[in-house]
Amino acid sequence: MTMTWTKMGRVFDPSAQGTPAATHAALPVLDADALRLYFSSRDERGRSHIRAADLTFDPLAVRGPGAPPILGPGELGTFDDAGVTSSCIVRHAGRTFLYYTGWSLGVTVPFYLQAGLAVNDGGPMFRRLSAAPLLDRNAVDPYLTASPWVMVDGSTWRMWYVSGTAWERIGPEVRHRYHIKYAESPDGIHWVRAGVVSIDYATTDEYAFGRPCVLKEDGVYRMWYSCRGEHYQIGYAESNDGVAWTRKDAECGLAVSAEGWDSEMTTYPFVFRHQGQLHMLYNGNGYGRSGIGLAIEA
């Protein structure tokens, strides 16, 4: 059954702020308990930083995005020295876990991505759990890891994350290919990866997936993500166990607008319940350059 969404418009336009966060507001993530919004902005060198702001619903607004980043690029030579992008927030046992993607620049390929973890025990800033990536490249994920979504499900921590399958030459350039895999952990820090693919390419035109977002409702796992051929668009899948998924992209129901800030693409969905209704934060044109919008399921 196709979902029906009412677009509430753009809730945050980074170009209108006149702050260091003026370029991009990508990959929105909401700490629903505190209505704290996290997103990724870019500095004058194109490096991503993770920032935080407060989301209010009455009135609908984002407040305080001009504050210093809560996490910036890592030290020279580390896996995230070219930038960090937001992915998932988990509160557990008095700590806040910020799962993110670290960027480093390549030579034979344009960049490398690896999933990282920062924690907060109280206060405005996060600290890296390690200078090393949370999910390094290995035999299961030889190209890259990125965009982890984490859920504490009983005694098991579950993760759905982006994994590279190849780099391919397209004319004079090289292009990444990555899909969505699954991993488990007893503590959110040490992960077991068996190469299980959750969401794979549906056609030969697809070559990339954006950060997944997973909810568990009435025993059913529901995933929203963005998939890319010519442009990103938001897809949807369901699962009875969180491991094997059925894609139901046609049921997602959120298409591009006829004109305006999200007329070219919809991407990086973050879905949550507020006052009993499903809400979706998402990005539009330019991978977050045009800001963050909100849609509510009708």
Distance CA 79, CA 105 (A): 9
Looking at residue 186, what is its pLDDT?
Answer: 98
Number of H helices, E strands in the chain: 0, 21
Give the CATH number for residue 45. Answer: 2.115.10.20
Amino acid at 187: D
Looking at residue 143, what is its pLDDT?
Answer: 98
The length of the chain is 298
Distance CA 101, CA 136 (A): 11
Amino acid at 97: F
Alpha carbon distance, N-terminus to C-terminus of the chain = 13
CA dist 197 → 131, 141, 194, 202, 211 (Å) = 28, 11, 9, 13, 15
Note down the domain range covering 41. Answer: 5-297
Cβ(112)–Cβ(136) under 8 Å?
A: no
Please provide the DSSP assignment of 165-196 as one string: EEEEEETTEEEEEEEEEEEEESSSSS-EEEEE
Looking at residue 22, what is its pLDDT?
Answer: 62
Looking at residue 169, what is its pLDDT?
Answer: 95
Looking at residue 19, what is its pLDDT?
Answer: 61
Structural domains in the chain (count): 1
Distance CA 292, CA 51 (A): 13
Cβ(61)–Cβ(43) under 8 Å?
A: no
Amino acid at 149: W
CA dist 118 → 21, 79, 84, 193, 241 (Å) = 21, 14, 11, 20, 28
Cβ(273)–Cβ(213) under 8 Å?
A: no
CA-based nearest residue to 87, from 50, 54, 61: 50
pLDDT (tens, 9 = 90+) of the chain, 298 residues, equals: 789 999 999 999 998 876 655 689 999 999 988 899 999 999 989 999 999 999 999 888 898 887 889 999 999 999 999 999 999 999 999 999 999 999 999 999 999 999 999 999 987 789 999 999 999 999 999 999 999 999 999 999 999 999 999 999 999 999 999 999 999 999 999 999 999 999 999 999 999 999 999 999 999 999 999 999 888 999 999 999 999 999 999 999 999 999 999 999 999 999 999 999 999 999 999 999 999 999 999 8
